[in-house]
Chains A and B, each alone.
Chain A
Amino acid sequence: MADNEATVTEEEPKVLTDLEKVGEPAVPRKKPKDVHGDELTGSIKVPKVEENVANHKPYLCKPVTMEKLGFPADLREDWHDAAIAKMADLLKKYKSLQVYMDICVKCGSCTDKCHYFIGTQDGNNMPVARAELFRKVYRRYFTTEGKILGKLAGAERFDLDLLGEWYSYFHQCSQCRRCSVFCPYGIDTAEISMAAREIMDHIGVGQKYTNDIIAKVHDVGNNLGMNPKALKATLESTEEDLEEETGQKIRLPLDEVGAEVLMVTPSADFFASPHVESLLGYAKVFHQAGISWTFSSAASEAGNFGMFIGNYSHMQKLASRVNDAIREIKPRRLVVGECGHAWRVAYSFWNTIIGPFDTLDPKYKRPQHICEFTLDLVKNGGIKLDKSQNDHLVPTMHDSCNVARGARMGDKPGGQFTIPRELIKASCNRYVDMDQDTIMEKTFCCGGGGGLLTDDLLELRVQGAMPRMQAFSKVQETHGANFIALICAICKAQFTKILPKYGVSMEVAGGVHQLIANAIELGAKQ
């Protein structure tokens, strides 16, 4: 960015309000010493612990948006008591939170597992240390041990400084659940960071990126803020492109009542690159299989940032748009596009929060992932793939954290790993997996998940992507890998931005259905 100090006039120097103190990085950032930065060696090494080297904080949410979401516009006067009351409420509502507060023995198993710790070497980014920020408060107000022993038991009063640490470190967790895999009790830091963000929102401390987007979906229907008119124009323009490319009338239908399939996909698929390449893939698959389908302007977003802020009501309300669309379109099947956390919400939560889907055909999974849908067609001959179209590519699969550890595809455990890989192998002659410790259930987050995909956290995103970049650079070296196949809109946006910072072309990132789009044989079936 250009040096613009001279022309930008900051507001008068003034005393910070309490809220601004919480949102302001308090300690001057110290440059991490032996962080691997943008040097790719192909190996992931566990760094030494440093304190306060990653004091990143995202922008605070503006009052107008906070109010729109039903949260206080400013830090509440009684924020301390309100926070404790909210914590008590959540402890009663979530078994996960109650149990995980009590049972951590601090064995240290998770300490070297978080990509943000490996990338920043900040001690508070070790999952147990992050959770301890929450437990300090829990112990002080909810346990006999903490009330009597205080700091000796790791209990602390919830003050403004600690709230500032909460704001920083619970926004350096992408809720990817990798730590949980290695925890002897399955303690899930995602649950704790969701609860922390829920408490912060309730006392008036919100994060701009996530909350702006939730408000936008309530207002307009999708994360991008693309209204139905713009959506229609965009789909029509994309149809023109498809016809130019293939010579065939391949449709991208919108709001067509009575379509067989209602397709719900992240709005980024309509808008951004490389997301849109997967959109072309979906369209070609439906076209060639001869199955009628439609998008819906009511449910023009698969993503659900309500999960990121741990707010049940918002998550449910955002998801209820899918029900609106089902009532309107009356489809027999419901299919979800390439989006990681969306698939977790759709697969694991939809049935509970907006189900049951009684009007949908029970012969098919409700809902179905686009990879399940396409692989079925590949297997039953509904579509044919010409692998040679992808001969210029050596793909590798980056398992999205939310799909890998929070959801499933197909009927067997682990289908979320095998089904996308089968699809890639069906559309490409070559394929290579990255190190076993970095894929499938042990996959590393891309570094931009959980509501952190914002430019005010760019430095953190680059650092957090490091483990994945190391693993990729290894297969790049050994097998000439030149394509990272993705099934998540956040991963796609993150890698497109981050790859160049590590000296890798952004073209390397793309969707699984981008490969399908390349390989699918269009035209009359034999």
Chain B
Amino acid sequence: MAIFVIGVLFKVWKYAMTPAPLKIPQTPAPVGAGGVPVRVLSEVVIFKSLFKSNRVLWLAGYLFHAGLLLALLKHFRFFFPAVPAGFGYLDTLEFYPGLIMLAGLGLLFLMRLVVDRHMFISVMTDYFLLLLLIAIATTGTFAKHFFRVDITQVKEFMMGLIAFKPVDMPTQVMFIIHFSLVLLLLAYFPFSKLMHAAGLFFSPTRNQVDNPREKRLVTPWAVEKPEAIPVAEEAMEAST
């Protein structure tokens, strides 16, 4: 858990600190600052560019991320003393976020196996992450619906962790597997492509305003005088 928080914060700090010396928004881009959040959010909320590109891929990705979001929201009751206002009704809806996730993940996995272009670019870690997520979603769904993990016990355990006052871990196997896999995922997160979740907000082609003629972009290293290129300098003089 600590690896996750420190690792992600470190990466985010690195992204934020690295300068973007030139205006490289991918145009057409917003010409005013107000348009940028709209553009970035349209990628976050509806995966706009992916939708433009490939509908099947969009569906697979969207199912997975939507399922993940719902699952996370439903987990909130473990992290807060009282269920935050408005989250309670999530429980009254008998849907299966885990299954939505699995549908998306399954499709993503399948595409890596059957589409030759996707297969060409996939390496071990790509498959591994999908399998890890599939395992997490499966054990989570099992824990909730089939093995009926003792929710009160889990909550006490989580609250204890958050308050740094360890309580005995619940002993149901399904919970232990689920919880361990999640920890593994979190520990791996900052070192992997999962960083796209944070990096997306730092992508210069998407978060820059298209106003280079109106507003001069100045970053420290990039406004120095042209470096002398000695031989070319001489040649230039010779030719004039």
Contacts and interface: CB of A to CB of B under 8 A. Distances in A.
Interface of A: 46, 48-49, 67-70, 91-96, 98-100, 102-113, 123, 126, 128-129, 132, 143-145, 149, 151-154, 177, 180-188, 191, 215, 218-220, 227, 312-314, 316-317, 320, 347-349, 351-353, 355-356, 365-367, 404-408, 411-414, 416-417, 441
Interface string B207-232: 00010110011100111001101111
Contact of B49 (A49, A93, A182): A182
Contacts of A143: 191
Nearest to A46: B117
A413 B20 contact: no
A394 B223 CA distance: 46
Nearest to B231: A68
Contact of B121 (A94, A126, A416): A126
Interface string B1-39: 000000000010011001111111011111100000000
B226 A123 contact: no
12 contacts: A95-B202, A99-B15, A102-B199, A188-B26, A218-B236, A219-B235, A317-B229, A349-B212, A351-B212, A352-B21, A352-B22, A408-B29
A122 B142 CA distance: 44
Contact of B213 (A132, A313, A367, A441): A367
Contact of B111 (A100, A108, A317): A108
Contacts of B200: 103, 184-185
B168 interface: no
Contact of A126 (B49, B112, B117): B117
A413 B30 contact: yes
Nearest to B23: A348
Nearest to A437: B52
Given A49-B116, A219-B236, 11 more contacts: A70-B230, A110-B53, A145-B191, A188-B24, A188-B205, A312-B222, A406-B26, A413-B28, A413-B31, A416-B27, A417-B28
Q: Among B50, B115, B213, which residue has the most Cβ atoms of chain A within 10 A?
A: B213
B26 A405 contact: yes
Given A102-B195, A103-B195, A107-B61, A96 B213 contact: no
B205 to A, nearest CB: 4
Given A184-B49, A412-B31, A105 B193 contact: yes
Contacts of A417: 28
Interface residues of B, number: 69
A119 to B, nearest CB: 15
Q: Which 10 A-B pairs have the closest CB atoms?
A: A103-B199, A413-B28, A182-B53, A186-B205, A111-B117, A186-B206, A103-B196, A152-B124, A218-B232, A317-B226
Contact of A70 (B28, B116, B192, B231): B231
Q: Among A108, A182, A316, which residue has the most Cβ atoms of chain B within 10 A?
A: A108
B11 to A, nearest CB: 7
B226 A186 contact: no
Contacts of B123: 151-154
A352 B49 contact: no
A319 to B, nearest CB: 9
Given A108-B115, A109-B49, A95 B19 contact: yes
Interface in B22-75: 22-24, 26-31, 43, 47, 49-50, 52-54, 57, 61
A48 B19 contact: no
Contacts of B126: 106
Interface in B121-139: 121-126
B148 interface: no
B199 A220 contact: no
B88 interface: no
Contacts of B232: 68-70, 215, 218-219, 317
Given A99-B15, A109-B49, A145 B202 contact: no
A405 to B, nearest CB: 5
B193 A104 contact: yes
Nearest to A182: B53
Interface string B106-123: 001001100111101111
B196 A185 contact: yes
B216 A108 contact: no
A352 B212 contact: yes
Contacts of B153: none
A360 to B, nearest CB: 11
B235 to A, nearest CB: 5
A184 B205 contact: no
A67 B30 CA distance: 42
B50 A352 contact: no
Contacts of A353: 22, 222-223
B18 A95 contact: yes
Given A67-B231, A154-B125, A316-B226, A95 B50 contact: no
B166 interface: no
